Amino acid sequence: ASAMARYAAERHQVLSQNIANADTAGFRAKDLEPFSDAYARMDTTKSTSSAAPFAKLIDAPGNEKPNGNSVSLEDQLTRTIEAQADHETATVLYKKTIDMLRLTLNSGA
């Protein structure tokens, strides 16, 4: 859950940069590799809170405008909604895990 929440936060930051540069000539839209790929590469022996990026940055597909910009606001909005849903899923998983731990600790008393 922690890794998924971190991934969603990093993805949201990348997508926000895309939206902020929607009118910048020559700007290429970026995204993160899928969570499953990033998680498969993750070293589970290290802390997930390091400053290093969790996932690799990739080019987001899109139609290039005459000024060389490839940001589609509609596409970025869809991707942002996906990132928000991933973050909400991670939050729910984390909360359920904490609830199960509390239940286990309370039932043993």
**For residues 51-68, average pLDDT:** 82
pTM of the model: 0.77
Count of Cβ atoms closer than 10 Å to residue 62 Cβ = 17
Average pLDDT of the chain?
A: 87
Read off the tokens for 40.
């498969």
Instruction: Tell me the mean pLDDT in the region 94-99.
Output: 92
Residues 93-106: what's their mean pLDDT?
91
Average pLDDT over residues 57-66: 88
Cα gap 100→70, rounded to integer Å: 45
